Each structure stands twice: as structure tokens, then as C-alpha cells.
Amino acid sequence: MALKSLRRSQAVIPFGIGALVDFPGQSLMAAGLDVWPDQPECQIRDDRLARRLNVAYFRSPPPPPQPGFVGDYLPFVRFPLWHFCPRCRTMKKANWNDTSPPRCDSQLMPLRTGAPSCATLPDKKQWRMVPLRFVVACEHGHIDDFPWIEWAHSRPGQLLETVIPCDNPVLRFNYTGKAGLMGLLIKCETCGAKARSLMGSAGPNSLKGFRCKGNRPWLGPHGRENCISLDPPRMLQRGATNLHFSKIASSILIPPFSDPIRKLVDDAHNWSILTSGVREDGTPDESRLRFFAEIKKLDLDRLRQVVIQKLNGVGFESDSQTEEEYRYSEYKAMLESTGNTDQEFITEKPKMNNYSSQIREYIDQVVLVKKLAETRVLTGFSRINPPPYREFDRKDQSQLSLQLKPWLPGIRVYGEGIFFTLKVAKIQQWLSNTDTRLYDEIFANHQRIYDKLGRKPREIPSKFFLLHTLAHILIRRLSFECGYGSSSLRERIYCWEGEDRSMNGILIYTAAGDSEGTMGGLVEQGKPGRLEFLFQGAIKDAMWCSTDPLCIESHGQGIDSLNRAACHACALLPETSCEEGNRFLDRIALVGKPDNLSIGFFYGIVNNILSGNERE
């Protein structure tokens, strides 16, 4: 089988376990963790995130084998299994582990050509069959081939469970030239049943009577399980965006975990050496520390400090912490850290007096993150509907392998960013001027979705719409100002209404896994003299949308109707940029409405723009 290329980061997101990948002439699915190659050098240590996800470590996809370098290949399975011949349109089912697509050996004559059958052609000239683009999936993550045999032998309105196909069906997939599914016909050549189009197969209940078989092809022939869903699976195209939603956990590497000595200590082998002689009072053995420091050429005092910190659990929160509690540690690190060049978390705090009064009126603190490291981990996935965000448990991880592993697939990427916090007094003023009941419809839609999933939704404060939408319009503007593609920029929202842990921060950063993560242009945009123009341009962009007044007057649009005034023309971002799946957005929170500008958070800037008093 010819080897296919895929970037290592793409093998985790977005083409991770259970996702379909289209290669020229064939469709493959990433196999489960049970058959991933074991490469110790691919381990990623992030103890803070590992403790939250209840695993020991993470593992990145291996590099490909090269001369002088150890590497390996990732396994894939063939899916969907049903293929058709482009020449004679005959359908054939392949095996899940076939190393190449099947070739057509059908005895059927090609349609409308009068040419000989494919079976009479020499082996080297036999046509390579193409995978069909229709599959069925259910909300529990199962996926299977479309029931072609049952559909070909059924009539409109007939339940598929009552269909009795012929003994040896030979199917033919034909295109008649009509628009849509009406032009696609399936016919059994064995029994001569009347051809049936795919019209009516794509609705939520179109396959009524056809029960999900619990197929999990990414886990191999033993991956099938009982499906508890009472609803029939849905027909989807294999390239549909709702066929695979990755569930991602991410973490910024912060002190003390960003210390280079901590990286050495976190290695399982090194840690066993350093702690095999721990004394009764919980302190490490001094001789082992001295020997290790000499071998690794480390400062003995710093090594001792790091080992004691880890032994005492410094930097860890409780195991049952919420996502907001988890992010609060990062929030504090952004505001308090004074990173240096030997760490993977380097920050700089410009003096706020150097910014214009327009910025100081709304922003409390700006932090330039000159270097950061992010760990992204695939914890599970869903189909049909997006997964609940910011919730992680071992049940999700059971989708990735037959046996739960002590590790999860992940990647470590490096980049830079701009972090800033909004003034609490300004947020309180905005909340007093805004009728937050406007978001009740959004919260009701959110509750309905979680009720269907049988889960309790997380509480989302109204100010989240403000912070989230601001991050989006800044990212859209930054793609023009500093040359980054919008898909290379990401957001991280720090929003919490805790008693003594209130958060009102935004981190916009680049961590694309390649050279774009280290160009330096993003940090420059956060410096005095540039940030003012960035905010002014972004707010001016948010004041209008090409779909207004439909967009500005919307009470619910986008995925699951969880946005108000936000659409692709004004506020939405590529799916790699938004951590909320382009949900919970509203431009009105920033710039108000044309007939009531005062309800916008940046009313002062908007008023200056409209009056022609823009600050140059």
C-alpha cells in the first residue's frame, strides 16, 4: 500500500481517532490507540493537565521513519467499505484491512456504452473502485455503511427492518443527471427490483426501523458494541462537518511546570531515580540529587527546590476542579509571572501609562506573552452534535481504545500571544446598562441541548458574550494587521464569577505547530502605540455587517441558535480558532444597536468613531 502523508498535529486534531481522512481515490479512518506504535521519545509531560484528565502522560504521533532517525507509521482502517466502479457502476464491499481499494471484476456490462465487462479486462487495466460518499451515524459516536442492500430492496414508506433482500444481491449505483439525491439510483441486478433513488434518505427519521448496530470501525473487528439509542441512525456524507467533532482539552504550560528542570524531573525514569531514596520526613536523598545534578549539569539548589515542589504537590489543584478553577491558575500566572529566557513561559508587562487614555479606560492590564507552550489533547469525540465543552471524564476516553490507556494522544505547540484583562468597574457599568434578559433565549437553547444529552449545562455569565465576541473581532482584525492567517490564531477566554477568583481576561495567541508560531508579529501588536489602532479598527469592523439588519436583529442564529448578532460576515472564526465552536457571540455587547448605542461596552469608542473624533 502506498504511504499517505499527514501532518503529525493533524493526526490528533482534526483527523484524530475515529475521523475520516480523504486521500486521492480512497477514504481511511484513523485507528484506535490500541494499535498506536509505542515510541517513548514521543511522550509529552504536562502533569497539571494529566492530573485533570486522570492519565499519566500524553503521547504525540511518531515522526515517519527516516535514515538515522527512529520513527513509525500510524495505522488506519478502510472506511466506508462499500465501493463502486466508475466504469460500470457496480458496487462491491471491501475488507476493513485491505491495503488498497478493490478493483472491479464485475460481469455486468457498463451502462450505455456496449463495452465489455470489467471482468474481461486484464488485471492491470481493471478499474480501481471508489468509496461511496454516504454513511450512517448515531449520536453515541457509532458509524456504519449506509444500508445499501436494504434500501435497494425497499419501497418508499417501508420500514427497513421489514425488508427481505434476495439471496445474492449485486448492486449498481447509477447517476441519472437529476439534481440532488433524486438523481442517485440504487438497483439490485440479481432480483431486478425496481431502482430506488436516495431521495428521502437524509432526514432524521428517514431510516426509521433501521437500528444502529453499534459499529466502531476505528477499533477493528472487535469494536462493535450494543447501542442504547432508540432513534435510527442518520445518513450523512462522509465529508460532513458534523460527522466528527473532536473533544479537546488544552493547557498552557505555566510555572513551575514550564521550568526546564521540571521537564527533566517529570520524566518517569528520572523521577524514579530521584525519589527511590526519599527520607521519612519526605525530603529527597541528597546524594542522589548531587549525582543527578552532576550528570545533567544542573544547579543543585534549583534541582532540590523543583523535586521538593513536586513531592509536595506545588502547582496542583484538586482532582475535581472545574475548567474555570483550572484556568484560574493560568490567569494568575499571566498577571504575576516574570518569566526569563530559560523557561517556556516568558512574559512582559508594559507600563499601562504608556497606552492612550482610550485603552486605559477599558483595559486593566496588558501582558505580552513572548513565549508560551500549549498542550492539546484529544479526549474523545462525538457525531451529529458537538460534544459538551469543558467537561472531561473517562467515559469519553473509552471511545479511543478498547482498553483504557494510561495516556492520551496530544501535541505540544509553541507560540506567542497577547493577554489583557477588562476593568471590573466597566463590566459592571455595562451590565447595569444592558438588559441581560436578552440572552435568556440563548440560555434556554443551551439548556435544551444539554437536557437531550442528559447532562447539566455549565453556567455562562452574560459577560462571557462580551469577552468571547471581543476575542473574535480582534482575531479577525489581527489577521490583517500582523500577517497571521485567522486559522493560525486562537483564543482562550478567562471568565468566571467566583467569589474571590473573578476572571475577566482574554488570551489571543498563535500556536499553529509550525514557523508561524514564532514570527513575533503578534506580540508587537500588543505594544503601546499599536494596541490602540488594533482596538479601534476591530470595533469599527464590528459596527456593521453585510447581512444587517438581519444579523443585528437576530434572536438566535448559528449552531443550535446559540448566537445573537454574529454571523460569518462579521464575527465567526475558523473552527481551529474558537474554543466554543463559534457559539455564545453577540456584537451588540460590544457596539450596541443603531438605535441604542449606549448598551455597547465600547460606547465611548463607538461614539468617537461616529462623530469623526477617531484618535490617530
Highest mean pLDDT among 73-82, 257-266, 321-330, 477-486: 73-82
431 lies in some domain: yes
Of 276, 311, 346, which one is at a domain's C-terminal end? Answer: 311
Residues 558 and 533 in one domain: yes
CA dist., res. 272 & res. 446, Å (int): 47
Q: Are 413 and 517 in contact (CB under 8 A)?
A: yes
Number of domains making up the chain: 2
| pLDDT recorded at residue 515 | 47
Sheet holding 20-23, edge to edge: 20-23, 26-30, 76-78
Confidence bin at 216 (pLDDT 50/70/90) = very high
183 lies in some domain: no
In the DSSP assignment, the letter for residue 563 is: B
pLDDT in tens, 295-327: 777 777 777 777 777 776 665 555 567 888 889
What's the pTM value of the predicted model, to 2 decimals?
0.86
Residues 300 and 331 in one domain: no
76 lies in some domain: no
Phi, psi (degrees; rounded to nearest 5) at 360: -65, -20
Residues 273 and 419 in one domain: no
Confidence bin at 108 (pLDDT 50/70/90) = confident
In the DSSP assignment, the letter for residue 31 is: P
Residues 531 and 600 in one domain: yes
| pLDDT recorded at residue 517 | 47
Residues 427 and 554 in one domain: yes
| pLDDT recorded at residue 1 | 46
Q: Report the 10 Å Cβ neighbour count for 354.
A: 13
Phi, psi (degrees; rounded to nearest 5) at 84: -135, 155
Output the nine-digit C-alpha cell for 170. 449485486
Q: Which of 211, 192, 200, 184 is nearest to 153 (CA)?
A: 192
Residues 405 and 542 in one domain: yes
Of 242, 277, 311, which one is at a domain's C-terminal end? Answer: 311
156 lies in some domain: no
Domain residue limits at 544? 323-610
Residues 519 and 599 in one domain: yes
Confidence bin at 420 (pLDDT 50/70/90) = very high
30 lies in some domain: no
Residues 331 and 283 in one domain: no
- Cβ neighbours of residue 99 closer than 8 Å, sequence gap 6 or more: 1
Residues 301 and 390 in one domain: no
Confidence bin at 616 (pLDDT 50/70/90) = very low
Confidence bin at 340 (pLDDT 50/70/90) = low
| Strand, coil or helix: 498 | coil
Q: What is the dihedral of CA 451, 454, 456, 457, to 10 degrees?
A: -50
- Does the pLDDT of residue 353 top 60, yes or no? yes
Residues 297 and 423 in one domain: no
Task: List, in sequence order, the alpha helices (H) in 398-462.
Answer: 424-433, 440-453
168 lies in some domain: no
pLDDT in tens, 424-475: 999 999 998 887 778 888 888 888 888 877 777 888 889 999 999 999 999 9
Residues 435 and 566 in one domain: yes
173-182, 568-577, 589-598: which has the minimum mean pLDDT? 173-182
pLDDT in tens, 534-545: 999 999 999 999
Calculate the alpha carbon distances from 215 to 150, 190, 559 in Å: 17, 28, 27
CA dist., res. 229 & res. 413, Å (int): 38
77 lies in some domain: no
- Does the pLDDT of residue 422 top 90, yes or no? yes
534 lies in some domain: yes
Dmax over CA atoms of the chain, in Å, equals 89
- Evaluated on CA atoms 237, 239, 242, 243, the torsion sign reads positive
Residues 481 and 548 in one domain: yes
Q: Which of 516, 536, 484, 505 is nearest to 367 (CA)?
A: 505
